[in-house]
Amino acid sequence: MDRMKQNLHQASKASYQDYFGKSISLFCASLVGMLVVAILYFVMTRGLATFTQNHISLRSFLLGQTWNPTQIGANGQPEVGALPMIVTSLAVTLLAALLATPFAVGVALFVTEIAPRRGGQLLQPMIELLVGIPSVVYGFIGLSALVPLMRHLFGGTGFGILTGTLVLFVMVLPTITSLASDSLRAVPLDYHSAALALGATRWQMLYKVVLRAALPGILTAVIFGMARAFGEALAVQMVIGNAVLMPKGWLTPTSTLTSQLTTGIGNTTLGTLPNNVLWSLALILLVMSLFFNSLVRFIGRRGRMQK
Amino acid sequence: MQTYQYDQTNICQPTLAPALATRELEVFYGDKQALFKGSLQFPKHRITALIGASGSGKSTFLRCLNRMNDRVATVKGRILYHDTDINQRQINVYQVRRQISMVFQRPNPFAKSIRENIAFALKQQGLHDRAQLAARVETSLKAAALWDEVKDELDQSALALSGGQQQRLCIARCLALAPDILLLDEPASALDPISTAKIEATLAALRHDYTIIIVTHNMQQASRIADYTAFFHLGHILEYSETEALFTRPQIKVTEDYISGNFG
């Protein structure tokens, strides 16, 4: 009896295990948290230095159209207008998403609803393979196949928004497809039978019931795709032309935020203005990815509330 | 464990005009046979209950009647509706399902508003006139005894309703199509007794205009609402007669054991 009393008050091996597991996961979680905070802090301080140390106005940075950080412009300030890059980045992202979404939803429907067996065995691994191909390979294929093709078809240099969009289209397609298939698979089977039992055809069931129910998930998939497109550097850099100029058409050489970052980062010294403005570009990228993330969360919450 | 003879059956032929009849219906899931030569006649404007233990094939049988088993199982035999065998390849299944509607075990309203849930199938058939849609929504909700509870919140999500209300919405959704026959697969098994009572009252009122076939686990429910009852056991339909007769004077030993709870 006494022994039992003693056992009840004493910590045992089980309680140490519990404590040990808790500490490990807490350690990992706080490490990741610290990393995120550190990155945010680093990019913030560097990126804001353009405005605090070099006294560039936010307006001329966001709306200026000439990019030439080593030259002093007419207004006595270095020319660091990032608008062409912002516009190009947004353009290729939106166009790629616009182009990829119908294809992705079509493939996702095929894989989940129309031919789950064949689709699952053949198409799914193929799509997953596409995700794993390094972006430099996509860029290389774009450079050696797409750019000459564009030049042949439309004239000009072959570099530009259109080529960038096409490369990004192939890159975001698997992302959107696999996430959209997941959300289609999550639609309760009850909905299928309910719609069919009401005399709906398969098309009516898919279009009016299944797709509607999966809509929040599909939107999330599209936004993840856009986030990937927006952040993609290497592949885009190889086909966009890398001239910081306002795009004047589908195929004029231009530059995205990411491509300018990778091109410029090796040619500048830390602490100088040309380096600081690159950090400001990185800050824009960070803010945009935060925006995409919160959009995903917002849609997720809306979707849950409906249910 | 007793052994029973399955070749001995007692299947009545109701004298009333049949709305639907099956002739030697057999169902196979792959190699496994789930239903053996089921021949039943369902009299018009009556409620028929299908009872039996889990796995006895009653739900499988029910799902054949509006071809919901098409993609899951092989169905052999004939299903006669308006002198037509609707278990043929060339039959328009969408038309079949509009006439022979089904309510499932778990309430399954769409993630849409109450109004849209009912209007869904009507819109699919090309009805877009707002006034007509509103009228159909109202009459079918009234027929399912749900109108008074939801008339002020027709544009709210159907998923906010209680389980019993959702199930009556599913019934209303079927009624909006003005079907001939209503198939219900254990419609009250996921519901509490009060909701169950409401569903039963709804069905009792509907039997004047519809032929109803209901699968139920609950023998009291069958004896309360059904005019005819069929007893299923291991894929065989062993007994079919008027409900009162089946429950008071079962002719087959298995039926007697099942309804008296002296089973297996």
A263 and A200, same structural domain? yes
Residues A211 and A258 in one domain: yes
Beta-carbon contacts of B237 under 8 Å, excluding residues fewer than 6 positions away, are B9, B11, B38, B39, B40, B61, B230, B231
Let me know whether A149 and A265 are in one domain: yes
Q: What are the tens digits of pLDDT across the range B193-221?
A: 888 898 899 899 998 899 999 999 888 89
Both structure tokens of B38: 């089921």
**Which domain covers residue A126, as residue numbers?**
82-306
Does residue A48 sit in the same domain as residue A87?
A: no
Size of chain B, expressed as the number of residues it contains: 264
- The answer to whether the CB atoms of A190 and B104 lie below 8 A apart is yes
Distances (CA, A) of A131 to A96, A125, A153, A160: 16, 10, 29, 24
Q: Are A242 and A255 in contact (CB under 8 A)?
A: yes
Q: Which residues contact B106 (CB under 8 A, 6 or more apart)?
A: A190, B190
- Furthest C-alpha separation in chain B: 62
C-beta atoms surrounding B44 within 10 Å = 14
Higher pLDDT, A275 or B262: A275
Would A62 be classed as within a structural domain? no
- Of the listed ranges A24-33, A292-301, B72-81, the one predicted with least confidence: A292-301
Which of A73 and B106 is assigned the larger pLDDT? B106
Q: With 60 as the cut, is the pLDDT of residue B244 above it?
A: yes
Cα–Cα distance between A141 and A152 in angstroms, integer?
16
User: Are A222 and A292 within one domain?
Assistant: yes
Residues 288-307 of A with CB under 8 A from B: 306-307
Q: Inter-chain contact B104–A204, Cβ cutoff 8 Å?
A: no
* C-alpha–C-alpha distance, residues B20 and A112, integer Å: 35
Average the pLDDT over each of A26-40, A109-123, A208-222, B63-77 and give the range with the smallest value: A109-123
Give mean pLDDT, residues A97-114: 92
The C-alpha atoms of residue B191 and residue B166 are separated, in whole angstroms, by 10
Q: Are strands B236-242 and B10-11 parallel, antiparallel or unpaired?
A: parallel
Classify residue A66: in a domain, yes or no. Answer: no
Kindly state the tokens that stand for A233: 């550097």
C-alpha span between A94 and A227 (Å, rounded): 10
Looking at the structure of chain A, the number of domains it has is 2
Q: Do residue A201 and residue B94 have CB atoms under 8 angstroms apart?
A: yes
Residue B77's nearest CA partner among B39, B42, B41 is B39
For residue B241, the number of C-alpha atoms closer than 13 Å in the C-beta half-sphere is 15
- Mutation pick from B72, B104, B110 vs chain A, by most beta carbons of A within 10 Å, is B110
Domains of chain B: residue spans and CATH:
10-259 (3.40.50.300)
CB neighbours of B141 closer than 8 A, spacing ≥ 6? B114, B118, B147, B150, B151, B169, B172
Helices (H), chain A: 2-9, 13-52, 58-63, 83-109, 116-118, 124-132, 135-141, 147-154, 161-185, 189-197, 202-204, 211-231, 234-240, 257-264, 273-306
pLDDT at B243: 92
**pLDDT per position as a tens digit, B216-235:** 988 889 999 999 999 998 89
**How confident is the model at residue B1, as a pLDDT?**
47
pLDDT digits (tens, 9 = 90+) for A157-214: 889 899 999 999 999 999 999 999 999 999 988 888 899 888 888 888 999 889 988 9
Cα–Cα distance measured from residue B130 to residue B140, given in angstroms and rounded to the nearest whole number: 15
| pLDDT tier for residue B21 given thresholds of 50, 70 and 90 | very high
Which residues of chain A lie closer than 8 angstroms to B174, CB-CB? 197-198
Same domain, A47 and A89: no
Tell me the mean pLDDT in the region A273-296. Answer: 89
Which backbone phi and psi does A226 adopt, to 5 degrees?
-65, -40
CATH number reported for the structural domain that contains residue A205 in this entry: 1.10.3720.10
Q: What is the mean pLDDT of chain B?
A: 89
Residues A154, A230, single domain; the answer is: yes
Q: A8 and A91, same structural domain? A: no
Interface of A with B in 118-177 (CB under 8 A): none
Has residue A74 been placed in a domain?
A: no
Helix or strand holding residue A53 (H, E) = none
- Would residue A72 count as lying in a domain? no
Binned at pLDDT 50, 70 and 90, residue A55 comes out as confident
3-state secondary structure A80-146: ECCHHHHHHHHHHHHHHHHHHHHHHHHHHHHHHHHCHHHHHHHHHHHHHHHHHCCHHHHHHHHHHHH
Report if residue A128 sits inside a domain: yes
CB of A215 within 8 Å of any CB in chain B?
Answer: no
Q: How far is CA B78 from CA B64, B81, B89, B95, B180, in A?
A: 10, 10, 12, 17, 19
Helix (H, G, I), strand (E, B) or coil at B186: coil
Residues of B in contact with A190 (CB under 8 A): 104, 106, 108
Which chain B residue shows the shortest CA-CA distance from A215?
Answer: B111
Q: What is the mean pLDDT of chain A?
A: 87
- Examine residue A165 and state whether it is found in any structural domain, yes or no: yes
Kindly indicate the confidence band of residue A141, based on its pLDDT and cuts at 50, 70 and 90.
very high
Are residue A196 and residue A124 in the same domain, yes or no? yes
Compute the radius of gyration of chain A from its Cα atoms: 25
Is residue A275 in some structural domain? yes
Q: For residue A264, what pLDDT band results from cuts at 50, 70 and 90?
A: confident
Q: How confident is the model at residue A233 (pLDDT cuts 50, 70, 90)?
A: confident
Average pLDDT over residues A10-21: 84
Radius of gyration of chain B (CA): 19
pLDDT of A17 over the 90 cut: no
The pLDDT confidence band at residue A23, using thresholds 50, 70 and 90, is: very high
- pTM: predicted TM-score of the whole model, two decimal places: 0.78
Q: Is the pLDDT of residue B253 over 60?
A: yes
pLDDT by residue (tens digit) across B129-184? 999 999 999 999 998 889 999 989 999 999 999 988 999 999 999 999 889 999 99
Give the confidence band of B264 by pLDDT, cuts at 50, 70, 90. low
Average pLDDT over residues B12-18: 86
Decide if A68 touches B, using CB distance below 8 A. Answer: no
pLDDT above 50: residue A288: yes
Pairing of strands B41-43, B18-29: antiparallel
| Statement to judge: residues A101 and A230 lie in one domain | yes
Is the domain of A240 the same as that of A108?
A: yes
Over range B89-118, report the average pLDDT. Answer: 90
Q: Is the pLDDT of residue B68 over 70?
A: yes
Contacts with A114 from chain B: Cβ below 8 Å: none
Check residue A73 and give its pLDDT.
73
Q: Are residues A101 and A185 in the same domain?
A: yes
Q: Is residue A67 part of a domain?
A: no
- Dump pLDDT digits (tens) for A90-102: 999 999 999 999 9
| Cα(B144)–Cα(B44) distance, integer angstroms | 20
Token duo for residue B242: 């008027």
Helix A83-109, helix A211-231: angle, nearest 10: 140
User: What pLDDT does A165 receive?
Assistant: 93
